[in-house]
Each structure stands twice: as structure tokens, then as C-alpha cells.
A and B are shown apart, each in its own frame.
Chain A
Amino acid sequence: MKLFIFYPFLLLVIATACSTLKLQQADFAWPVESVIAVDENGKVSDERYSMSFDTKSLFFEETEDSSAFENKRLRILRDINGFYFITAEMFKNVYVFQMDNGAMVLRNKIFVSESGIKDPALNQRAPYIELINSGESLYLTNSGIDRNKK
């Protein structure tokens, strides 16, 4: 019975040990999108942000053809929360990725146009990402298009 007296202390110790340190008010936003040509092996690499990854799975997801990357340029922009927004000319979707243990993990696939995005451009409009499709603006978050934002 006397042991019950120590339970609150034990729980407190466990709770303290499990709490994660957070550095908040972080801003991961890139000022301008990176427009990167996909190389012959299907890879892109960005010098300024020192990042590179394989795009074959992305093209397969979009076109069901993993070799569709030839002569393509990806447009990548990171939002304030650290999500990567990726699209390309004539893509139907904007893909939202997050970094996870040495990989880009898909968090959302935002459908934009059945006929494909023409002259796409991504602009940083924190907390949104502005997608320009044929001169028309759409405001995106990692969860989708915000139709209320004009």
C-alpha cells in the first residue's frame, strides 16, 4: 500500500523523460522556388539548399511512367512549416512532401487541373504557397487549396 505514495513521483519522472524538446517559431520558407532540371538518371539536386532526391517515383505517380522525367524541370518550394510543394509543367497535381529519415515522404497530393497545369510557378506567400496556373493564382497549404483566400 505504501508504494502508492510513490506513484505520482514515478509518473512525473517518466513524463519528464518522454517530453520532446521543441524549438518553436521556426520558419522553413524558401524565398523563391527552385526550378531544377531532372538529370538523365531521374535525379534533381539543388545547390543552394544542398538537397537531392530521385524523381522517378514522383513521375510514375503522376503519369504512371517512371521514364517521363526526360527533359522535365521540377518546381520546388518549401513553405513556412517545412513542407515541400512540388509540381512541373502539365502536372495535374501539386505534391506535398515532408522530410523523414533520409526520404521525401508524400503528405498530400493536391489536384489542380485535369488538363494539366500550364506555365506553373510557385510563390512564397506565407502562410500560403501561391500556385500560378496559366496566370491564375491558387493558394495552397499542406492540406489543400484554400478557396477562401483571394
Chain B
Amino acid sequence: MKYHSFLNKIIISLILLVFTNQLYAQSDYEISQSFKQKRKQLEEKIHNAKNLEELNSIVADIDRLRNEYVEHKTLLDKSLYPDNFDKSFEKLDLSFVIRNKDFTTIDILQTENLQLKEQVALLNKRSTELMNKIQEFEYSNKKDVNKVSELEEAVRELKRSLRKRDELIISIVDSLMPQPMMGETRLSSQERNSIYIEAENNDVLSNVKLSLLDQIKFLELTTLEPGDLTEIKKQKNQFAEFWQDTGARLVDIYAGKNKNSEEIKEIDSLFSKWDFTLAQEVWKNIREEFLYNKINLIEFTNGEEFTNVLISFIDDAIKNIGVKSPDESNLTYSLFSDSTWFKIITPNWIPFLIDNEMLDISQKQKVESKISEWKGRLTPSSFDWIYVLVAILAVAGLGYMNRRRLFKNKQS
């Protein structure tokens, strides 16, 4: 009986041994693949973590994976080539640290963003106040010295305020884009949605639009010097560059949102309008420089029209040389050429126009050669008077000498 019981135990043990042997016959390849798959899942989990809390929960998963596979370390060291078991966890830890840093940066940026948003709101308010003030001054008595200096100060402040607001808007948009995504990397739909929500919360599109509208209004309200216009042009180029770069990514983020797509199109057209208004401001100011010296020119909107208008004015002035009095002709020449062209336009405006490709050297030379021709036509008539005067003086002199000779002859 004892013998049978012993035999049964041996048989059961053998069956169990065979069974467990079969149970533990595992494929090394499957172990290696399953480890790689779980590691990849953790990498994705780290990458897709939405917040710091979610990210921190992954630490336990990493430890679990390590404990689960530590018994296969030798196999994995060989099969994970060029990595190994420890290196795989080092990489996971590094991904964790990088993502953790992202969240810390995002946290700081969100705080900064809130402050920037408040500052933009303040600057919006201040800009509107200043524009109203400038408009008021434009309608009031410009001869009042105090008012003029107040106006100038208001314009300066408004200019500063608009520039500051542009910079803030750029900072807000930059802060919305997480740093690793500032490059060429394409954003996932999840990232796009989160940026979209943030951009909407910060009224990014409205602020960009408002900024452009104010810049245009500022140009229309004020009469600016070439130096101011150079500064504004530079500011415009910077803002346009920003819009082409980060703005293009915003376009991608807003794609499919009909209302916003319209707003983006509007912003694009406002950039063109700003460009056009800036150019018109230049030509308007140049015309006003001539008008200040009582030279009333037909309106011009580009370099070619400007050249043609000036040449046509000079042609008319040359034609009128015989018709108008010489004094009048000379005065027109003097006001046009000496007081406006050579004194104001050439030193102040021509470099700006040439630098911004609004006028070329040949057009400038064409105007100046016409001015020389005008001067040449005025000079001969002036010389006639000198000849007459010399002749009168010569005749008078000869007469006086004859009379003295006759007087001497009578005496002798």
C-alpha cells in the first residue's frame, strides 16, 4: 500500500514537472519583443502626459517594468542591441526628465502669459486714449506752442505704446508654443487643440488685428518724419516676419474653424493695408513739404508718379517764364528748388525713398537735371537786365566824360 502511494506521488511529481517545464518554455524572442513593446508604450505615455500629475504616475509603471524583466536582464542586454537593459531605463528616465521640464516651463509660461495678457489690455486702453487725444489736438489750434509740444509728446508715447504691445503679442504667441515645438516639428492634433484653446483665451487673433488697425490709424492720424517712418517700417517688418513664421502655425491650428479662418484672412489683408498706408503716408508727407512752400502738386502714390508730377510742374514753370513776371518765376524756382527740393527732400526724404525702393537713383537724377534746365532758362533773362544796366552805365559814363572834355575846352 505504502509502495503504491509512493509510486503515485512520483507519477504526480513527474506530470507536474513536465507540465511546469512546458509552462516555462518561453521564447526569448517573445520576451524581448514584449519588453520592447512595453518600453515603447511607456515612452508614448510620457510623451502624451497632459500634466505633471499624470507624468508622475508613470514613475511606478517604469519601476514595475524594471522589476518584471530584471530576471531577463542577461538576455535583454544582448538582444536590445545597440541598447541594453540599463540603457533602456536610462532613456526612459531621460524622457521623463525632459517632459517634466516641459511642464515646468509651461507652468512658468502660463504665469508669464497671464501677466502679458493684463499688460496688453492696459496698452490697448492707453493707445485708445492717446489716439483720441491726438485727434483732439489735430482739430485744435496748432499755433499754440504748448499744445504742439503736448501733441508731440502724445505721438511719441503712442508710438512707444504700440511698439510695446506688438512685442507683448509676439511674446504671448511664443509662450503658447511649447519650446520643443518652436522648430519644424509638426504638432499633433492634441497639441493643436490645446494651443487653440490657449490662443482663444488670450484673444490672440483679436489682439493681432487690433494692433494692425491701430498702427494704420496711427499713420493716418499723424504727420511723421522720415526717421519715424523708418522705425515704423522696421517694426512692421518684424511683426510681418513674426506673422509669417509663428502666425503660419496659428493658421494651421485654426484651420477648419470657419470664423477664425475669416479673421486670419482679415489679418493678412490688414498687413497689406498697413504696407499701403505707410507708403501713402510717405508720399502725402512729401507733398505736404512742397505745399508748405506754396508749391501745390497733383497727388502721387508711387515713385514714377512722383517723378512725373515734378517734371510736369517744372515744364509748366518753364513755359510760364515769359508769361509770368520774372520775379514770380524766380520765386517759384527758389521755393521749389532751394527751399524744398535741395533743403528738405534731398537730405531728408530721398535716402528713405531709395532705401525702401520707393524711388531709384535714375528718377532722382531725372528730376535734378530738369531743375538744372529750369535754372538755365531763368538765368538768360536775368543777364539781359545786367547787359541793359551795363549799357546804361557805359552810356552815362561816356556822356559824363564828353561833358567834362567840352567844359575843359570852353575854359581854355
Interface residues of B (CB under 8 A from A): 21-23, 25-30, 32, 75, 78-79, 81
Given contacts A32-B32, A121-B26, A122-B29, list 6 more A-B pairs with CB under 8 A: A31-B28, A31-B79, A121-B29, A121-B30, A136-B25, A137-B25
Q: How many residues of A contact B (CB 8 A)?
A: 16
- Does chain B have a CB within 8 A of A48? yes
B23 CB contacts on chain A under 8 angstroms:
135
Q: Which residue of A lies closest to B77 (CB)?
A: A31
Main secondary structure of the interface of B (DSSP, over half): helix
Can you name the residue of chain B whose Cβ is closest to the Cβ of A130? B25
A44 within 8 A of B: no
B82 to chain A, nearest CB (A): 10
CA distance A33 to B78 in the complex (A): 12
- B78: A residues at CB distance < 8 A: 31-32
Q: List 26 A-B contacts (CB under 8 A).
A: A31-B28, A31-B78, A31-B79, A31-B81, A32-B28, A32-B32, A32-B79, A33-B27, A33-B28, A33-B29, A35-B29, A48-B81, A75-B29, A121-B27, A121-B29, A121-B30, A122-B27, A122-B29, A123-B29, A130-B25, A132-B25, A135-B25, A136-B21, A136-B25, A137-B21, A137-B22
CA A150 to CA B28, docked complex, whole Å? 18
A31 x B75 contact (CB < 8 A):
yes
State whether the Cβ of A93 lies closer than 8 Å to any Cβ in chain B.
no
Residues of chain A whose beta carbon lies under 8 Å from any beta carbon of chain B:
31-33, 35, 48, 75, 121-124, 130, 132, 134-137
Instruction: Point out the residues of chain B lying under 8 angstroms from A135, CB to CB.
Output: 22-23, 25
CB contacts (< 8 Å) of B28 on chain A: these are 31-33, 121, 123-124
| Bound CA span A35–B26, Å | 15
Who on chain B is nearest to A137 by CB?
A: B25
With A and B bound together, what is the CA distance between A61 and B30 in angstroms?
28
A37: min CB distance to chain B, Å: 14
Nearest-neighbor residue (CB-CB) of B78 within chain A? A31
Cβ of B27: which chain A residues have Cβ within 8 Å of it?
33, 121-123, 132
Q: How far is the CB of A49 from chain B (nearest CB, A)?
A: 10
Q: How far is the CA of A109 from the CA of B101 in the complex (A)?
A: 57
A135–B79 Cα gap in the complex (Å)? Answer: 22
A31 and B81 alpha carbons, distance in the complex (Å): 10
4 tightest A-B CB contacts, nearest first:
A121-B27, A31-B78, A32-B79, A135-B22
Hey, which chain B residues are within 8 Å of A75, CB to CB?
29
- A32-B22 contact in complex given A121-B29, A132-B27, C-beta closer than 8 Å: no
Task: List chain A residues, Cβ under 8 A from B29.
Answer: 32-33, 35, 75, 121-123
Residues of A within 8 A of B25 (CB): 130, 132, 135-137
Question: Which of A32, A123, A130, A134 has the most CB atoms of chain B within a 10 A radius of its CB?
Answer: A32
Separation in Å of the A44 CB from the closest CB of chain B?
A: 15
When distances are taken between beta carbons in the complex, the residues of chain B under 8 Å from A35 are: 29
